[in-house]
Structure formats: C-alpha cells, structure tokens
Amino acid sequence: MNTHLKLSERPTLEPRWLLPAIDAVLAFLAFGVAYVMRYEMQIFPLAYDPPERGFVPYIPFAAVFAILIWLNFHRNGLYRNIAGRAWLEEVYLIASGVAVSIVIVLALFFLLRPLVTSRLMLIYVAALTLIASALSRLIRRWILAYLRQQGIGIRRVLLVGMGEIGRSLLGIMLTRPEFGYQPVGFLDDDEAKVAASMGRVEVLGGTEQLAHVIAERRIDTVVITFRWKHYDRIQELTEICRELGADLRIVPEIMQLNIRQVQVENLDGIPLLGIGARRSFSRANQLLKRGLDILVVVAGFPLWAPLSLFVSLALALEGEGPVLYRQVRVGKDGKKFEMLKFRSMVENAEELQEAMLRESGEDPRHPKFVDDPRVTGVGRFLRRTSLDELPNLINVMRGEMSLVGPRPPTPSEVELYEARHTRRLQITPGMTGWWQVRGRSNVPFDEMCEMDMYYIDNWSLSMDIEILMLTIPRVVLRSGAL
C-alpha cells in the first residue's frame, strides 16, 4: 500500500463513488417524495393552498440540491475513511450539510422566481434527506460490521510497543472488531514483554524483526506506540514501513496520558489539546447504573422467577446435591461476597479442579475446561443456556453484582493477578460484559482484561444497554457458552 496516500484516499470495501452517488440519488428522490407529501397527500394543508402543480418545474432544483448535498457532505468530511467515528457525529455532519444546501435552494427560489415554489415542500425535502442519509449510513455500518466479522475487509495490524498505550489500543481493536482492525501480534525490545503474550495476540520478537514480520505475516498496518524519546528508532521503523508499502500509524506522545483524557480544540486554525481528569465512575454514574440494574431485574421478574422455579425442580429431581451453589468471589475494591448460582457440577467439583489444571495446562486465572467431566446432565443444559446464572440476580439486588461488569474472580485467581489486572476490581462485577458478548468462553485471560479495561474507561449507560441487548442473542444462540 502507498503510505503517501491521505487517510481519506485509502482503500475501503465499497467503491469510492458509491456513497456519494447514494447521497445524491436520495437527495433527488427526497424532492419527489416531498412533492407527493405536499401536493397529493397534503399532510399540512394551507388556508390559501395553490392548485396542484406538476413535478417537472422542480426537477432542476432537485438536481441542484443533489449536487449541493454532495459538495457539502464532501466539505464536512463525510466521505473520509475515519475509523471509529460515531454514527451520531455523522448525523450531525449530515444535518449541517442539509441545512446549508436547503438554504441555497431557498435563495435560488427568491432569485429566479419560478412559477412553482413551496417553502413547506423544502422543509419536507430537508427532513427526508436527513432521515434517508442517516439511515443509509446506519445500514452501511451494519453491512460493513457483518462483512468484517466474516473476515472480509479487515486490516491485519502489527503493534510495535506493548506498553500501557499499546495494551489500550489492543483492547480497543479486540473490543471493536467493527473498526476492521485485526491485531496479528506485537513487537517490543523489552525482554520481559517479549517473553509474554497477550492472549491470542502473540509476541513476534523485537523491533529488528519488523521487515521480516511485515512480509511473513502479510501486515497491512503498523502502529508504533513508542515514546518520542525513541525518535531515532521510530524514524528507522518508519523507513522500513515505507519501503515495504505497509500503512503506518504513530501514536503522538501526548496520547500516552490517556486517549480519553485528550480533547482537541481549534483556536482560529491553531490546534489546542486539552487534558482532562482521569475518567471514573462518579457517584451520579453509579446511581444511574444501579437504577438500571434494579429496573431490569424488577421488570424481568415475571420471566426469571418461573424459570428459576422450573430449574430448581429439575435439580431437586436430579438429586446430585443442593439446588444452589455458593462460592466466594471478589467484588468491588477487593471485597469478598458469596455468589449464588444454580448447581451445575458434582459436589466435590472444587477439589477436582487442581488436578484438572495440572493435566490440562489451563490458565488458573481464567480456567475453561472443554467437556468438563464434573458437569452434571442438567448442569450441562443450564450452562449452555446460561440459566445457571439466574441466582446472580439475587446478588444484583443485594448490590454485590451488577448486570454488566467484569467477571467476578475467585480469591485464588486474584492472588495470581499482576498489578495492571487489579483495575478490574475498581467497579462492581457483572453477570455479563464486553468480553462475554465479544467472545464469551473462548477469550483468553489477557484479552478479557483488556476488554474490561476498555469498558471501565468508556462506560456509559447506553453502553450497558448495548451489552445487555447483545447478550440476548449470544445466550439464545449459545455462542461460546460452556
């Protein structure tokens, strides 16, 4: 790939002319639909309504409006290939472009004084264009996200430097696959980091291996996260990327603080970077999150209460032990609590786990056994449908857990944590979370931690709602459940 291309000129999945063409066609069609609404349907009839006019006189204005939409959308940067731009941000840019375009058409009405004019019709045109363009981009996002989940249109990424910012970028790429970035591995000259791995993202050596890795692993994009004090080394790596045609991204040193702390302002053409305080769960946010938990649990009582009764009867009839399984877990700020689940294993399951860990080689911080022999017949069904977690709702009502949050670890797992892993204990643990809806049981521990860090740094009430909505199809389709 040619690294001298502007970001807006880099290849995308769809042809570059397609989106501008769709916008222009939708703008032109908006005139036609607005004409029907104004003259035929007469949704808002006027007291002195002129007789119905033909659509033909409006065609030149519709064509001009379509061209103006294309020009203003282009000026607003809507055709730039910017990964991670929010849909609402696009809607704002669309609204701005539509407003400017419709004002120009209105000015043409006054200047040219055509026989047929309708300011009410222009209001319809503006509203229809805004809605149609916003929906078309939402549909485009869904299509691109689906294609990328199928492995189409993804960019193979190599991270250079696995410090704090590198791990943050890795977490974002793993958590947001719809951005189209697939981390293949990382390079680092720190021997301690080279000796480790980040879940399924493997270490590929030191930076001297850059040229070899780009060629062997078919790398599309290289992201360098070194600090600027390593300027000479960054220059050397940059030249290697240019020679091999790999796309290159460099994280500015100011971003080493925290991506979410930096706000960009523009003072008459001069960029100003503002550094805000570290984001955290404020008291107000905690109350909002707690309110959502209580609302969902109470509203869902008619559903989960009968299910819990049927599960209890099935477990009682199976007769392998008590209906409820109680286990000590570590919650917010390291406080221990007793987590409740429906029994899905034999009574001496914990005694058998140590031997199974030695035999399987599973990560003791996040063990997941395939075809676990300790699981009972009813328990296997409960796990596949996640019904074994229904008693967690009692923990939610007690305030020990939330509907959404990091998985509550056991005390033995916490003892194996590194310092950076303890951030997972800053908030209330949850029944479901980012890692469950993105990969569930097949997510390695390090990737799970990065996804939890992403959730903590980017939390919002809408994010919790999104995770809850994504959890439903995951459970129904039994995707990744044990």
Mean per-residue pLDDT for 194-223?
82
Position 391 scores a pLDDT of 94
Number of compact structural domains in the chain: 3
pLDDT at 230 > cutoff 80: no
pLDDT at 123 > cutoff 70: yes
Asked if 335 and 466 sit in the same domain, the reply is: yes
Q: Which of 134, 149, 164 is the last residue of a domain?
A: 149
Q: Which of 255, 275, 295 is the last residue of a domain?
A: 275
Asked if 459 and 319 sit in the same domain, the reply is: yes
What is the value of pTM for the model shown? 0.56
Which residue's structure tokens are 């990382």? 186
CB-side neighbour CA atoms (13 Å) of 204: 24
Asked if 163 and 131 sit in the same domain, the reply is: no
Give domain status of residue 2, yes or no.
no
Asked if 314 and 425 sit in the same domain, the reply is: yes
Q: Which of 133, 149, 165 is the last residue of a domain?
A: 149
Asked if 291 and 236 sit in the same domain, the reply is: no
Question: 130: pLDDT confidence band, cut at 50, 70 and 90?
Answer: very high
Position 360 scores a pLDDT of 62
Asked if 265 and 298 sit in the same domain, the reply is: no
Asked if 244 and 166 sit in the same domain, the reply is: yes
Asked if 312 and 396 sit in the same domain, the reply is: yes
Position 408 scores a pLDDT of 92
pLDDT at 480 > cutoff 80: no
Asked if 252 and 306 sit in the same domain, the reply is: no
Position 272 scores a pLDDT of 58
Mean pLDDT estimate for the chain: 80
Give domain status of residue 293, yes or no.
yes
Measure Cα distances from 36 to 30, 33, 231, 450 in Å.
Answer: 10, 5, 63, 53
Give domain status of residue 482, yes or no.
no
Tens of pLDDT along 282-321?
788 889 899 999 999 999 999 999 999 999 998 888 877 7
Give domain status of residue 401, yes or no.
yes
Asked if 101 and 168 sit in the same domain, the reply is: no
Give domain status of residue 1, yes or no.
no
198-202, 328-332, 454-458, range with the lowest pLDDT = 198-202
Cβ atoms of 118 and 102 closer than 8 Å: no
Mean per-residue pLDDT for 23-29?
94
Tens of pLDDT along 347-365?
766 666 666 766 666 666 6
* Dihedral angle computed from the Cα positions of residues 382, 383, 387 and 392, in that order, rounded to the nearest 10 degrees: 130
Asked if 128 and 24 sit in the same domain, the reply is: yes
Residue range of the domain that includes 260: 155-275
Asked if 107 and 221 sit in the same domain, the reply is: no
Give domain status of residue 471, yes or no.
yes
Count helices and strands in the chain by DSSP H and E runs: 17, 11
Give domain status of residue 16, yes or no.
yes
Which residue's structure tokens are 């704002």? 92
**Partners of 160 in beta bridges:** 187, 224
Q: How many Å apart are CA 325 and CA 347, to the nearest integer? A: 9
Cβ atoms of 26 and 132 closer than 8 Å: yes
Q: What CATH number has the domain bearing residue 250?
A: 3.40.50.720
Cβ atoms of 139 and 29 closer than 8 Å: no
Mean per-residue pLDDT for 85-102?
88
127-131, 201-205, 247-251, 369-373, range with the lowest pLDDT = 369-373
**Residue 435: which of 444, 427, 426 has the closest Cα?**
444
**Residue 281: which of 318, 333, 215 has the closest Cα?**
333
Position 197 scores a pLDDT of 60
Position 133 scores a pLDDT of 94
pLDDT at 12 > cutoff 70: no
Give domain status of residue 481, yes or no.
no
